[in-house]
Amino acid sequence: MRKRMVIGILLFSLSAVLFAQGTAEPKSVELLVSAAASTTDCMQELGTLFAEKNTGVDVVFNFGSSGALQQQIEQGAPVDVFLSAGQKQMKALVDKHLMDDVTVRDLLENKVVLITQLGSPILSSFNDLTQQEIVRIGVGDPKSVPAGQYARQVFDALGLSEQLSSKFVYAKDVREVLSWVETGNVDAGVVYETDSKISEKVQVDAYAPEGTHTPVTYPVGVLKDGKHAALARSFVEFLFTDEAKSVFASYGFTVL
């Protein structure tokens, strides 16, 4: 009798384990996307939409300056998809054979703008940055931040770089510049038009004159060594759908 009871308990325990295994939630697949800081808001929305269409997929983002993200990838960071705010950073990865070349395409276009804190006296142009009242100008670090590289091109083209050099305060990415302007830590800043649109605390004073910088284009592509190549390609294709284009446009991006 006791032997039967022990066997019964063992069978019951085994059944419970098998039932638990059969009903356990399947582990989600994490698609790792490194994207330029200026795309934070729209990409988070698109990541949610993609996950809703693909059960069991979790899109995990790493946002930062494109130069910093490029370096992370070169150093072996696990990444499936890279969205850059500059061609230079993507080209560097392509040249090092880290990208699946056939997947690399231009996705978005943006504009360079001069912003000040909402309510501040309007600056009619970039040339007004030479005024004595303007002491600190926030720009992305041109060594790693595409927005900073475009800003430097604008200042060079307008012949202002040397005159303004002592006023520049360098940020780790374009969103840090935006934050500085919002809080009044700098008197003006150079960001993308899309960054200005997400803030109610800044105003756009001027657009960079046409021809003063190279086009602000955002290439996207799949990493060769990513863990989820097929899923990564599907995500990139999703970014070119009409649904995704509508989201990008709502944040002020021009979709290519």
CA 72-75-78 angle, 5° bins: 65
In 3-state terms, what secondary structure has residue 3?
Answer: helix
Q: Are the CB atoms for 115 and 147 separated by under 8 Å?
A: no
Q: Are the CB atoms for 188 and 116 separated by under 8 Å?
A: yes
- Domain ranges in the chain? 29-109+217-255, 112-207
Give 145's DSSP letter.
-
CATH superfamily, with its number, for domain 29-109+217-255: Periplasmic binding protein-like II (3.40.190.10)
Give 39's DSSP letter.
G
pLDDT above 50 (res 54): yes
CATH of 112-207 among 3.90.226.10, 3.40.190.10, 3.20.20.70, 3.40.50.970 = 3.40.190.10
Q: Do domains 29-109+217-255 and 112-207 have the same CATH topology?
A: yes
Summarised one tens digit per residue, pLDDT across range 179-226 is 999 999 999 999 999 999 999 999 999 999 999 999 999 999 999 999
User: In the numeric block, which tokens belong to residue 59?
Assistant: 């899109």
pLDDT at 28: 87
Cα–Cα distance for residue pair 46/50, rounded to 1 Å: 6
Give me the chain's average pLDDT, please: 92
